[in-house]
């Protein structure tokens, strides 16, 4: 009886425990947007929010938030962490402004708490641990590719003070992203890839694409409107661009099954929100350009990046969705062949290339376009160039519309050989409807033979330059509550309704350096030492010996032997 009572008490206790408000929540979201070029971009976002202070409280119980990352944050006093692993390059000109672009390769930037005494050591340890967690070569991050930008990378989350000494930024443009990076990333998800949107994340399809970028963003956010306490937010994003021409046999129609070879059957049971957005906004007046099936449950209108957009929304948590058929396979059909020529260039885009011939000098040129018809705006440009390309800052020219454009802010940190890279940050005003050309000359260094990467004639990568700008929007945007708006629109804080924040990355560069002959070390050491010895020998001779008149000698051994034989033969000696 007593036992039964205890059992009853226990049973009563369980709902009581569950009734306590959950301190963490998960939202998952998939955005499918047809790109102007006809390709399809899929952006997954998984947001885990945790109302707890990881640093203060000795947290040991983790529910949705991955323990590996939580411990990392508290151990290294991380304030913000942004890591992205990308394969391919987002073509801004033909794909339009990205929601969240990342540079090719690996990018890591971290804000540490003010309490960290040795930021460099914490950075080194952190990158090594992340390297282990994500199976990426982040352990190659060292002082030669780490910089401390002063203005380009502001904290995205809550931050009181922004002393840039606690920021570290590094890009590894050579990093190749593949399945082994995707698997640990998927494991961080509460439902892993067992249920919910993550079911679609099949490596075989994701890497058969033109652009693949996976990222982890950790930042503190406001717990509520009053913003007295902070919560932690982990945002895992994955953007893929599928080449619909290649996969769809020349047709631009697509369906979930066609692109991911899976369909959705349920939402992640742990998620509090699970939605699919399909961008169905059409340019111009013809509304009946495309058709999505099944019919969307609702339509969401939002102003994103200065444009008004319409999205068809499917809520996976809505029980009505799976009533009709057991699985959801969103399809999009174009009613008429759409002409892809009407793609308007994004307001801000940039390209970069290296010019010059030969292996002695060269020039890096960056072209920044502002296609806004009447608004000028400033852009922050960040260049990180490895030390072996010796930049000459006096050759920096910025030309807009044939005139010199003087940057209003310039921060330059010259490189130190084998210790740190060049860092150049500039705030440049871009006049309306203009192209700004930024050129800087460099000299290629000859390295020690052990400093070359394997296959040195492939070249050396230079990380992309980063453009950060508040781009004035063409239409007025209304402020939206962050908790209610879709995730893809809410990573960068928008300042006001008239402009939106954009961060763009240009192409990484591949630069050849002069190489020594790698098979020669022994020969070179021998030959050079021989020359030094020739000098030593001749000087030693002249310094230690004196001139003498050559006296007739008794001759060498050979002569004496010959004379003995001659004597025996009876002939006069030599």
Partner 1 sequence: MAAPLVLVLLVAVTVRAVLYRSSLAGLISERVEVASPLNAWKRVVEGLALLDLGVSPYSGDVFHETPLVIYLFHFLIDYAELVFMITDMLTAVALYLAIQDYNKVLFKKQKLLIELDKYAPDVAELIRTPMEMHYIPLKVALFYLLNPYTVMSCIAKSTCAINNTVIAFFILATIKGSAFLSAVFLALATYQSLYPLTLFAPALLYLLQRQFIPVKMKSKDFWFYTVQYAGLYLASLVVIVCLSFFLLNSWDFIPSVYGFILSVPDLTPNVGLFWYFFAEMFEHFSLFFVCVFQINVFFYTIPLAVKLKEHPIFFMFVQLAIISIFKSYPTVGDIALYMAFLPLWSHLYRFLRNIFILSCVLIVCSLLFPVLWHLWIYAGSANSNFYYAITLTFNVGQILLISDYFYAFLQREYYLTHGLYLTRKDGTEAMLVLK
Q: How far is the CB of 532 from partner 1 (least distance, A)?
A: 6
Stated as kind and residue range, the H or E segment containing 360 is: none
Rounded least distance, CB 395 to partner 1, Å = 9
For partner 1, which is the closer residue by CB, 294 or 459?
Answer: 459
Region class of 182: left (phi > 0), else alpha (psi between -120 and 50), else beta: alpha
Look-up: residue for tokens 């509460």? 190
In the bound state with partner 1, the residue whose beta carbon lies nearer, of 204 and 551, is 551
Task: Give the interface with partner 1 as residue ranges (CB under 8 A).
Answer: 357-361, 387, 390, 392-394, 410, 412-418, 422, 443, 445-450, 514-517, 520-521, 524-525, 527-528, 531-532, 534-535, 538-539, 541-552
Looking at beta carbons only, is 211 or 442 nearer to partner 1?
Answer: 442
Biggest CA pair distance of the chain: 140
Looking at the Cβ atoms of 369 and 442, the one nearer to partner 1 is: 442
Cα–Cα distance, 406 to 294 (Å, whole number): 55
Q: Whole-number minimum distance, CB 153 to partner 1, in Å?
A: 21
Task: Output 293 or 530, the one with its CB closest to partner 1.
Answer: 530
What whole-number distance in Å separates Cα of residue 54 and Cα of residue 523?
59
From CA 61, how far away is CA 541, in angstroms rounded? 82
Rounded distance between C-alpha atoms, residue 507 and residue 494, angstroms: 26
Bridge partner list, 311: 279, 300
26-36 as b/e, with b when 16 or more CB fall inside 10 Å? bbbbbbbbbbb
- The rounded distance, in Å, linking the Cα atoms of 465 and 444 is 19
Per-residue burial over 108-132, b if 16 or more Cβ lie within 10 Å, else e, is: bbbbbeeebeebeebbbebbebbbe
Query: Two tokens at 63?
Result: 């529910």
In this complex, which beta carbon is closest to partner 1, that of residue 27 or of residue 444? 444
* Cβ-based nearer residue to partner 1, 448 or 569: 448
Q: Minimum CB separation from partner 1 for residue 394, in Å?
A: 4
Q: Which is nearer to partner 1, 497 or 514 (CB)?
A: 514
Q: Is the dihedral of CA 374, 380, 386, 389 positive or negative?
A: positive
**Which is nearer to partner 1, 151 or 367 (by Cβ)?**
151
Q: Please list the alpha-helical segments (H only) found in 47-91.
A: 67-75
Q: Which residues, 6+ apart, have CB-to-CB distance to 489 below 8 Å? A: 99, 302, 304, 480
37 close to 338: Cβ distance less than 8 angstroms: no
**Closer residue to partner 1 in complex, CB, 374/547:** 547
Contacts of 455 by beta carbon, 8 Å cutoff, 6+ apart: none
């Amino acid at each position: 009886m007593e036992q039964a009572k205890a059992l009853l008490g226990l049973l009563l206790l369980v709902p009581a425990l569950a009734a306590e408000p959950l301190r963490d929540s998960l939202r998952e979201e998939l955005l499918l947007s047809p790109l102007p070029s006809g390709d399809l971009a899929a952006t997954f976002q998984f947001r885990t929010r945790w109302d707890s202070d990881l640093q203060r409280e000795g947290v040991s119980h983790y529910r949705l938030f991955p323990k590996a990352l939580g411990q990392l944050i508290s151990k290294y006093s991380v304030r913000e962490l942004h890591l992205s692993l990308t394969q391919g390059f987002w073509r801004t000109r033909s794909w339009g402004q990205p929601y969240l672009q990342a540079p090719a390769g690996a990018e890591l930037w971290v804000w540490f708490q003010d309490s960290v005494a040795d930021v460099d050591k914490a950075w080194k340890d952190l990158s090594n641990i992340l390297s282990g967690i994500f199976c990426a070569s982040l352990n190659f991050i060292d002082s030669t590719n780490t910089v401390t930008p002063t203005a380009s990378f502001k904290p995205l989350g809550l931050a009181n003070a922004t002393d840039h000494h606690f920021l570290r930024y590094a890009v590894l443009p050579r990093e190749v992203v593949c399945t082994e990076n995707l698997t640990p990333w998927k494991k961080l998800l509460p439902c892993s890839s067992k249920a919910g949107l993550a079911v679609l994340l099949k490596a075989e399809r994701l890497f058969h694409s033109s652009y693949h970028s996976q990222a982890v963003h950790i930042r503190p956010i406001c717990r509520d409107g009053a913003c007295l306490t902070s919560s932690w937010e982990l945002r895992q994003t994955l953007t893929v661009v599928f080449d619909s021409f290649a996969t769809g046999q020349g047709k631009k129609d697509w369906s979930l099954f066609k692109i991911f070879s899976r369909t959705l059957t349920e939402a992640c049971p742990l998620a509090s929100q699970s939605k699919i957005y399909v961008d169905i906004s059409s340019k111009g007046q013809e509304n009946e350009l495309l058709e999505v099936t099944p019919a969307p449950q609702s339509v969401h209108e939002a102003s994103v990046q200065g444009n008004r957009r319409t999205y068809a929304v499917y809520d996976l948590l809505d029980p009505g969705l799976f009533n009709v058929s057991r699985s959801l396979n969103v399809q999009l059909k174009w009613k008429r062949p759409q002409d892809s020529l009407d793609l308007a260039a994004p307001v801000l885009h940039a390209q970069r290339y290296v010019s010059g011939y030969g292996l002695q000098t060269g020039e890096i040129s960056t072209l920044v376009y502002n296609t806004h018809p009447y608004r000028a705006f400033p852009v922050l440009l960040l260049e990180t160039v490895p030390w072996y390309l010796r930049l000459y800052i006096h050759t920096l020219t910025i030309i807009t519309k044939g005139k010199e454009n003087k940057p209003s802010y310039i921060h330059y940190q010259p490189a130190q050989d084998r210790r740190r890279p060049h860092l150049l940050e500039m705030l440049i005003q871009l006049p309306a409807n203009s192209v700004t050309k930024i050129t800087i000359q460099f000299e290629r260094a000859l390295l020690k033979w052990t400093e070359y990467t394997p296959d040195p004639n492939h070249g050396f990568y230079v990380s992309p330059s980063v453009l950060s700008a508040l781009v004035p929007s063409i239409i007025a945007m209304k402020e939206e509550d962050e908790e209610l708006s879709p995730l893809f629109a809410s990573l960068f804080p928008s300042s006001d309704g008239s402009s939106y924040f954009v961060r763009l990355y240009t192409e990484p560069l591949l630069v050849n350096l002069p190489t020594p002959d790698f098979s020669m070390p022994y020969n070179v050491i021998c030959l050079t030492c021989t020359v030094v010895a020739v000098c030593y020998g001749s000087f030693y001779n002249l310094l230690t010996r004196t001139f003498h008149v050559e006296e007739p000698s008794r001759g060498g051994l050979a002569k004496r032997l010959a004379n003995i034989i001659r004597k025996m033969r009876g002939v006069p000696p030599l």
